[in-house]
Structure 1
Amino acid sequence: MRKQLLNKFIGNYGYVLVWLLATSPLMAGVRPVADTCQSPAPPIINGSAKAICRNEAVVLTATGCTGTVVWSNGEVGSTITVHPQQTTKYTAICRAQPGCISCFADVWKVTVNTPNAPVVTASAKLSCPNEAVTLTAANCAGTVRWTNSAGVNEIVGANWTGKLEATTTFQATCEQNNCISNPSIAIAVQAVLPTKPIVTVSKHEICAGQTLQLTASSCIGTVRWSDGTEGSTRSVTPTQTVTYKAVCQIGSCQSDSSDAASVVVRSLGQTPNVLTTVTNGCPFQTGDLSKAVTSNSNGTLNAHYTFRAGPSLDSPQVQSPGAVLAGTYYVFGRDDKGCYTNPVAITVTINSCPNAIAPCLSNPATVAVRLDSLDWSKGIVRLKGQLGGSATQADWQSSGRGLFTDTGLKARYMLSETDRQRGEAVFTLTTPDPDGNGPCIGASSQLVVQAPVLSREVIGLSKKVNEPVWVSEGNNKLVELTYQLGVVNLGKHALTSVQLSDNLGAAFSIAGAQVRNVTCRADSNLTINPAYTGRGADTTLLLTGNLTVGGRSQVWLTVRLDVSQANTLTFSNKAQAQAIDVNGSLCRDRSTNGIDADPDQNGDPADNEEPTLVTLHSLRPETAETVFIPEGFSPNNDGVNDRFIIQQLPANITVQLEVYNRWGHLVYRNNEYKNDWDGTSNQGMKATDAKQGLPDGTYYYQIRLSDGREFVRFLTLAR
């Protein structure tokens, strides 16, 4: 149901009082069933404490009752001992006889001051032995205490820095107001020596200009290559025979160099049959390199031709082979397999012409700009320019007056404050007029780079617990709790790598309950962790999953518990969801109680964090355990828990149900109850009035079975 039962009932008392005063003439004649009943005075509650730490005990005592004291947690007696797991309010009634009860006692509120567990991060998940590592614990306003896998726990402080000789797991607790939190999620730091990488190449022999893949395996750190690059895999295009090596680095530790991997770069070993001189044809003052390739140039090579400014494949390509100035150029032939021939030099001579056409008119300057990379958060823009025609040089300009730290055709730009405020930067690449005051003109190209629109990606998580079910396992009576977790994408882009974690040990084991069995299932777009136990290191419930925009998926987690040795029958826990957003960032949310991850509808589920609480009735004798009575219901016509359903009744047993409000007035009675009460009143109203829906709140009930058994407890009505 949307709100947990016993921890919420006081909030609606004022509304009940208004309702009672408005109907007081009608209620004047409504008294308990027995004509001789003198409603007893409500008990007076006192407790041993009003503020405790989690798992501490509080003794509650009710005085002033000559009958039976029935407490809001289902226990009976003038004195009870409770172990609340979170801030809880307790009340009680005095029962003189069936149908004769007092008003509710004034509430005794027990505040549980235990802080939340810290969130621990490490400066590195990998370190070489005896290298300094720093751990940081956030989300603690008190004192942080650390423990490691060796059980050492004397470390104190929000930050811990030390050297590790072996892989170590750390946890932290938060001590505040003399209360200690649950341990944080464990974080492991591996202290390992880097191993020598194993280098493999996709091809050991290629043609010049072809690309191959390099791979370095067996390194759990950073792979550094002999040519100064990093990464476990690379694509390279060598132009000559070369040898590759790599090392593995973890922190300041570095492995030995890997075995060498050699790549042979071969050419055809032939020379293309081309003309070695080219001249212009008047009135043009430029030469055409393509005229060097004659009809019989291909021969047996079946070659394609590339013109470059130098004799190496690394030399710049000629921008406009059809209109070049005087000079020496080089032509390379390339066969269908991608192998190049040896270069042939071509000399271009330019003869004077009458009425000559300027070279820059037959080969006008052109320029183009494109974005290479953008990191707006760091303020770095990388640009590439391309010149064509008679253009030989160019200058960069920006609209925001930022700083060009690299120039040339590959430029690096640092954004200015003006750029950031505008959310864009305009770049212009200009090539000068090639002939000054002549007929030719320069060229320019412009590019607008805008700040990326980074939407705020949001994941939300809700967690609802269904009514407990008592089951038999051999001679043991166990309780099954089924949790329904709903994870939703409230952002503007899809989420990937969705994970859920739920620590059952923190919810149940710490209170003395034993988790006997865990089963889970999920929607098809989510992947359950088959190793999930909810305890120790196995608290990751979902391994991965995807959520579309506005998408909602569900996980059902059923926990079977032995609570016979538990020090409390009130259990509280939270789950946590995380995912990777479109920007590669991690978004998280802790669960809120109910079925709506964002109940206040403000778009931020993080401000609705609320534990999911369930309180079991005290264990009863074997004969009583065959009947299960819910602690409340939600009659809001949503198809879920709309009726007050008594389960596991023996055959041929009839039920008499009476329900009283907090002032001891009978509001519902049915001598042959059929599990059909929907939260409306059938007592205390005029016979001609329509059924009245009772306000949300806590009510006291008496159930009598035809076999003589009787149950007296509290329930919560929450729409």
Structure 2
Amino acid sequence: MKRQLLYKFIGNLKCVLFGILVTLRFANLTYAQADTCQNPAPPVITGSAKFICRNESVKLTASGCSGTVVWSNGESGTSIVVKPQQTAKYMAICRARPGCISCFADVWKITVNTPNAPVVASLTKISCADDAVTLIATNCSDIVHWSDQTTGTSWTGKLQQTTTFQATCEQNNCLSNPSVPISVQIATPAKPVLSVSKSDICAGQSIQLIASGCLGTVRWTDGNEELVRTVTPYKTMTYRAVCQIGSCRSDSSESVSVQVRTAGQKVNLATTLSNGCPFQTADLSKAITGKNPVLSDVYQFRMGPSLEAAIVQSPGAVQAGTYYVFGRNTDGCYTDPVAVTVQIIPCQNPIPVCLSNPATVAVRLDSIDWAKGMVRLTAQLGGSASSASWQSDGGGLFTDTGLSARYLLSETDRQLGKIMFTATTPDPDGSGPCVSMSIKQAVMAPSRELIGLSKKVSEPVWLMEGGASLVELTYQLTVANLGTNSLKNVQITDDLDAVFSASGALIRSVNARADSGFVVNPSYTGRGADTTLLSSGNMMAGKQGHVWLTVRLDVSRANTLTFSNKATASGVDVNGGLCRDRSTNGTESDPDLNGNPGDNEEPTLVTLHSLESEEAKTVFIPEGFSPNGDGINDKFVIQRLPVDLTAQIEVYNRWGHLVYRNPNYKNDWDGTINQGVSVNVAKEGLPDGTYYYQIRLSDGREYVRFLTLAR
């Protein structure tokens, strides 16, 4: 019985040992165990250069490794040649066998000194032949090279035909990419087309004159330069205009005429009025002796026989003199004037007119344009007042005075945001009993509303589409209301042609989405006239919203792999004013926190290190990911893996310690640890940094590279 039990125990032990051997055999087929290796020493990296220009090559050599040197760009071998397009850091490890690696070697940093491309602007987009054309290049602190081989921050010359300009920036003997092309068109401006809101009016009625079809400045024959203007003609008038761009003028437009007519009759009036003691004034309305049946009950009293003459300020109390009375019919047309002579019989001890009819003054704010720095006011006089003078407590300048005043703001006025105006009538009798009159009118700056925009780009993703290798870029745009009131009609424009097409890249597709409350323009392409990305939206004060824009590009024929982009946000404030901002890089529209997003305009820059390799046409492994929960690049995703293959993954930190392992990876790693001493800490996330990985596919292919984890 004991022998049978012994045989049974030995048999069971053999099964257990066989199972262990099978398990170990299977484990060796799937993973080499890393905990039994003697970790090699890290290699020592040397290079042929640390500072280069773009497109220059550097040879890197790793010494001190008896195994295989694996570089951070995916290559292996004791030496490699690299051609970074922007400043880059290179690392390496020494691999004795799979799973047995050294610590990371010291970083070899290669600084690419290529400057940013200049920003070229023309003082005019359309010019006449032989006119001087000036272009200005900014964003370059050293030497600007123009496409005609000249140098300097500006280019001036005469053109005979439409010409496209580009410039490059040379700094520390390195040359930038060409600037975005800008064209100067040589053409005679088209003559404007004029129209009038009404061509048959009564004298004194206002009409609108409209000039269209001019891309420059409209110059009317009477000197006015507005596209839409309001005029009040008192006689039949003919209007013409030309279009001027620079010193180049179009032919004169076709004329438009405005026929001005009168009522064709006179008012029945008493032509003489007299008054005597104790009165020293007369009432002009007494001249209207009866009702005029074809006229309305509206009359005007003026100082001269023209409707352009000054209005009598106090018709009920006029002094001796001649005045003119106009009637008006039911169509609004004025009659011919009738002169009324007023005679005043003097008194021996008359009561001063200013006591019986004291002066009055009121002020009307006609318009305020804080952006242009202009305020217009009108003084309305009454009683014996005949004139007014203006003062302000600001530092600006009155350019027009009289009853209508025009005031130009000073910088002090702008900063204070408030001006007090005073209109004063003169003292009519010096040391006598009458006094001057004055009134004050405060003018406040409109509430300052601010909109801010930032723009962040995610890591490029390579894709295969229809046999073509494409790169996908996703931009996150954050628009913020930094003012004190709500904004409406919030819009974002983003010109992709200027960013990509101008550099030879082909835009394959564009997709956009936005937070609720925003409306993405369904016809947005980013090309031509369709550059409005966000067509409308409202924002409360202190709130912000997001728009995500994904662009797929074919860069196989691009003349650069560095793309610089800016977008523009705008909104309408509570006063109907337009506020706007150019985007800055990142997620904060006002990164310096000075309350002014307008002084932050860093472009959003993305550089594609190289075109896609042949290897990546079947499997793409990203250079990194950002598991921060923002919905972008939160998982480490292996793309284009055939469905019949499985992937095994091991990830090591810079000291060669295994921190993550998965024998059947499903693209679900979010940066947490599942190996080592921290494995018992629930969902502990790895710190930001560079990690080494080994990925083995079930068909035998192996990838050993580095990745960047950045939250």
Matches within 5 A, 1:273-352: 273-280=268-275, 284-294=279-289, 296-351=290-345
Are the aligned partners of 2:452 and 2:590 in contact in 1 as well (CA < 8 Å)?
A: no
Structure 1 residues 432 and 503, CA, compared in 2 at 3 Å: closer, same or farther?
A: closer
Are the aligned partners of 1:469 and 1:481 in contact in 2 as well (CA < 8 Å)?
A: yes
Give 1:79 deviation, angstroms. Answer: 3.2
Aligned residue in 1 for 2:11? none
Give 1:328 deviation, angstroms. Answer: 2.3
Structure 1 residues 35 and 293, CA, compared in 2 at 3 Å: closer, same or farther?
A: closer
Aligned residue in 2 for 1:45? 45
Structure 1 residues 159 and 625, CA, compared in 2 at 3 Å: closer, same or farther?
A: closer
Aligned residue in 2 for 1:576? 566
Q: Which one is further off, 681-690 or 132-141?
A: 681-690
| Letter of the structure 1 residue corresponding to residue 197 of structure 2 | S
Structure 1 residues 618 and 700, CA, compared in 2 at 3 Å: closer, same or farther?
A: farther
Tell me if 1:619 matches 2:616. Answer: no
Q: Alignment length, in residue pairs?
A: 666
Give 1:540 deviation, angstroms. Answer: 8.3
- 1:187-212 per-residue CA deviation (whole Å, 9 max, x = no partner) reads 22233334544444333322111122
Give 1:332 deviation, angstroms. Answer: 1.2
- 1:581-636 per-residue CA deviation (whole Å, 9 max, x = no partner) reads 877787433433xx555678676583765633556796355xx8554433333333
Give 1:361 deviation, angstroms. Answer: 3.6
Structure 1 residues 424 and 90, CA, compared in 2 at 3 Å: closer, same or farther?
A: same
Are the aligned partners of 1:397 and 1:427 in contact in 2 as well (CA < 8 Å)?
A: yes
Are the aligned partners of 2:584 and 2:601 in contact in 1 as well (CA < 8 Å)?
A: no
Give 1:236 deviation, angstroms. Answer: 1.4
Give 1:389 deviation, angstroms. Answer: 0.9
Tell me if 1:658 matches 2:650. Answer: yes
Tell me if 1:154 matches 2:149. Answer: yes
Match for residue 677 of structure 1 among 669, 675, 678: 669
CA–CA distance in 2 between the matches of 1:639 and 1:580? 26
Are the aligned partners of 1:486 and 1:597 in contact in 2 as well (CA < 8 Å)?
A: no
Aligned residue in 2 for 1:11? none
Tell me if 1:635 matches 2:652. Answer: no
Tell me if 1:215 matches 2:210. Answer: yes
Are the aligned partners of 2:636 and 2:669 in contact in 1 as well (CA < 8 Å)?
A: yes
Are the aligned partners of 2:200 and 2:258 in contact in 1 as well (CA < 8 Å)?
A: yes
**RMSD of aligned residue pairs (Cα, Å):** 3.9
Aligned residue in 2 for 1:202? 197
| Letter of the structure 1 residue corresponding to residue 568 of structure 2 | Q
Structure 1 residues 112 and 133, CA, compared in 2 at 3 Å: closer, same or farther?
A: same
Identity %: 55
Q: Which one is further off, 515-524 or 177-186?
A: 515-524
TM-score of the superposed pair, with normalisation by structure 2: 0.81
Structure 1 residues 544 and 129, CA, compared in 2 at 3 Å: closer, same or farther?
A: farther
CA–CA distance in 2 between the matches of 1:562 and 1:407? 63
Tell me if 1:483 matches 2:474. Answer: yes
Aligned residue in 1 for 2:461? 468
Give 1:652 deviation, angstroms. Answer: 6.2
CA–CA distance in 2 between the matches of 1:79 and 1:338? 94
Aligned residue in 2 for 1:130? 130
Tell me if 1:591 matches 2:585. Answer: yes
Are the aligned partners of 2:72 and 2:706 in contact in 1 as well (CA < 8 Å)?
A: yes
Q: Which one is further off, 117-126 or 332-341?
A: 117-126
- 1:683-707 per-residue CA deviation (whole Å, 9 max, x = no partner) reads 3317766564322211112223344
Match for residue 189 of structure 1 among 184, 188, 209: 184
Structure 1 residues 394 and 506, CA, compared in 2 at 3 Å: closer, same or farther?
A: closer
- SS of residue paired to 2:335: coil
CA–CA distance in 2 between the matches of 1:46 and 1:507? 39
Matches within 5 A, 1:58-97: 58-97=58-97
TM-score of the superposed pair, with normalisation by structure 1: 0.81
- SS of residue paired to 2:705: strand
Give 1:180 deviation, angstroms. Answer: 1.2
Give 1:100 deviation, angstroms. Answer: 0.9
Aligned residue in 2 for 1:3? none
Give 1:453 deviation, angstroms. Answer: 6.6
Match for residue 437 of structure 2 among 436, 443, 453: 443
- SS of residue paired to 1:155: coil
| Letter of the structure 2 residue corresponding to residue 203 of structure 1 | K
Are the aligned partners of 1:134 and 1:161 in contact in 2 as well (CA < 8 Å)?
A: yes
- SS of residue paired to 1:345: strand
Give 1:106 deviation, angstroms. Answer: 1.5
Structure 1 residues 529 and 89, CA, compared in 2 at 3 Å: closer, same or farther?
A: farther
Q: Which one is further off, 63-72 or 496-505?
A: 496-505
| Unpaired segments ≥5 residues, structure 2 | 1-30
Structure 1 residues 268 and 677, CA, compared in 2 at 3 Å: closer, same or farther?
A: closer
Q: Which one is further off, 277-286 or 653-662?
A: 277-286
- 1:543-589 per-residue CA deviation (whole Å, 9 max, x = no partner) reads 785674644341423214376x9999xx5433112356877787433
Are the aligned partners of 2:169 and 2:175 in contact in 1 as well (CA < 8 Å)?
A: yes
Matches within 5 A, 1:238-249: 238-249=233-244
- 1:478-528 per-residue CA deviation (whole Å, 9 max, x = no partner) reads 244141231424542759774323468769967xxx647232335454547
| Unpaired segments ≥5 residues, structure 1 | 1-30, 148-152
- SS of residue paired to 1:693: coil
CA–CA distance in 2 between the matches of 1:436 and 1:240? 42
- SS of residue paired to 1:656: strand
CA–CA distance in 1 between the matches of 2:337 and 2:183? 58
- SS of residue paired to 2:566: strand
Q: Which one is further off, 459-468 or 127-136?
A: 459-468
| Letter of the structure 1 residue corresponding to residue 79 of structure 2 | T
| Letter of the structure 1 residue corresponding to residue 235 of structure 2 | Q
Aligned residue in 2 for 1:150? none
Structure 1 residues 657 and 58, CA, compared in 2 at 3 Å: closer, same or farther?
A: same
Matches within 5 A, 1:414-563: 424-436=418-430, 439-449=433-443, 457=450, 459-465=452-458, 468=461, 470-473=463-466, 476=467, 478-489=469-480, 491-492=482-483, 494=487, 498-502=492-496, 515=506, 517-521=508-512, 523=514, 525=519, 527=521, 532=526, 541-542=531-532, 545=535, 548=539, 550-561=543-554
Structure 1 residues 670 and 607, CA, compared in 2 at 3 Å: closer, same or farther?
A: same
CA–CA distance in 2 between the matches of 1:608 and 1:259? 48
Structure 1 residues 246 and 499, CA, compared in 2 at 3 Å: closer, same or farther?
A: same
| Letter of the structure 2 residue corresponding to residue 91 of structure 1 | M
Structure 1 residues 551 and 334, CA, compared in 2 at 3 Å: closer, same or farther?
A: farther
Aligned residue in 2 for 1:142? 142
CA–CA distance in 1 between the matches of 2:382 and 2:529? 61
CA–CA distance in 2 between the matches of 1:289 and 1:607? 66
| Letter of the structure 2 residue corresponding to residue 669 of structure 1 | R
CA–CA distance in 1 between the matches of 2:223 and 2:36? 97
Give 1:71 deviation, angstroms. Answer: 1.6
CA–CA distance in 2 between the matches of 1:135 and 1:663? 55
